[in-house]
Amino acid sequence: MISKKEKFLGAMIGSALGDAIGELAFRHPNKENLCAQLDKREEYRYTDDTAMALGIAESLTKQQDLDQQALGAQFHENYLKEPWRGYGPGPPTIFRMVESEDIGYERAAASLFGGTGSFGNGAAMRIAPIGLFFHKSPQLYEKACLSAAVTHAHPVGQDGAALQATAVALAVNLSPSDPFDGKSFIDKLISSARTREMKDKMLSVRQLLDQNTPPAKAADRLGRSVAVHESQPFALYSFLRCPKSFTGCLFCAVLNGGDRDTLGAMACAISGAYLGTTSIPASWAAKLENLSHIKDLASGLADMKV
């Protein structure tokens, strides 16, 4: 029996490794070369994907709940400490607006892209701590949207993040010692989707798995860009194709092009939440940057009561 703490550790460490290894895959897109790099490197460095996920975990730990303004401030503080993590243009723009115009983070985010807000995958890439913390809460979807809205106002951006959080929560609540019911898993996400874009992609994931479509073709069909409806679905496909193998899920996610680090972060958050920390190669985890802090946050979230 895998404990809740092991699953929380699996999700947080797994997501960070998916991010860090996915970032390496941009320069080493061949599996053999990538594995050689993993053996060679002394440390695996993560990107803004993990930096922002840690920000969510830090804020939840301090606030004991999801507080949008506090979360935005945590993101802002972490960015100012480490602006070199590879942030896209959205968060820094929001942070500058908050500083110069004295407005809240959610309002600043809502002004982006002509007032439509972002539907990028930046809210989904970091959402694992929300899926963990609220894994038994009926408010999970709404809490995930509130978390997303700090930077992503577009309904698709929020829906994609909420579905990613839902996938993490579903994985936490399943035992890997039981037979895995992939159809039930994807059907729950199909019924949870609230935008046409995400619902259609969840339906496509189910169809591609039913047809045993190989990863390269699935990536072409689902997309692998920075738009959340063109990346989160392939991350989900990667998990559902390899539910019993953390490494299989990771390599599927990061070796088929596109936004590799974010694909890895999302796919491996679900895989780690399902399989637990013992499924992750110990030699990889030992090289992960800031492993002790990640472990402390994951353990702290597991100990907290929602």
Q: What is the CATH number of the domain that holds 68?
A: 1.10.4080.10
Q: Could you list the residue range(s) of the whole structural domain that residue 120 is in? A: 4-303
Question: Tokens 């929300």, residue?
Answer: 130
Once rounded to an integer, what is the mean pLDDT over residues 212-227?
Answer: 97
Nearest to 25 by CA among 276, 275, 257, 266: 257
Do 193 and 163 meet the contact criterion of CB atoms below 8 Å apart? yes
pLDDT at 305 over 90: no
pLDDT band at 1 (very low <50, low <70, confident <90, very high): confident
Taking only Cα atoms into account, the Rg of the chain, rounded to an integer number of angstroms, comes to 17
**Tokens 């053999």 map to which residue?**
32
**Best CA proximity match to 97, nearest among 89, 88, 105:** 105
- The 3-state DSSP class for residue 288 equals strand
C-alpha distance from residue 113 to each of 76, 110, 128 (Å): 20, 8, 26
Q: Which helix (H) or strand (E) holds 69?
A: helix 68-81
Q: How many CB atoms lie within 10 A of CB 27?
A: 10
* Residues 6 or more apart in contact with residue 91 via CB below 8 angstroms: 48, 52, 75, 79, 122, 151
What is the sign of the dihedral through the CA atoms of 38, 43, 49 and 55?
positive
Mean pLDDT, the chain, integer: 97
Q: pLDDT above 90 covers what percent of the chain?
A: 99
Q: How many domains does the chain have?
A: 1
pTM above 0.95, yes or no: yes
Q: Tell me: the pLDDT tens digits for 158-174?
A: 999 999 999 999 999 99
**Do the beta carbons of residue 288 and residue 254 sit within 8 Å?**
no
| Per-residue pLDDT reduced to its tens digit, 228-253 | 999 999 999 999 999 999 999 999 99
Structure confidence by residue, pLDDT tens digits, 94-112:
999 999 999 999 999 999 9
Mean pLDDT for 144-153 is 98
Hey, what are 145's tokens? 């949207």
171 vs 74, 147, 296, CA distance in Å? 27, 20, 21
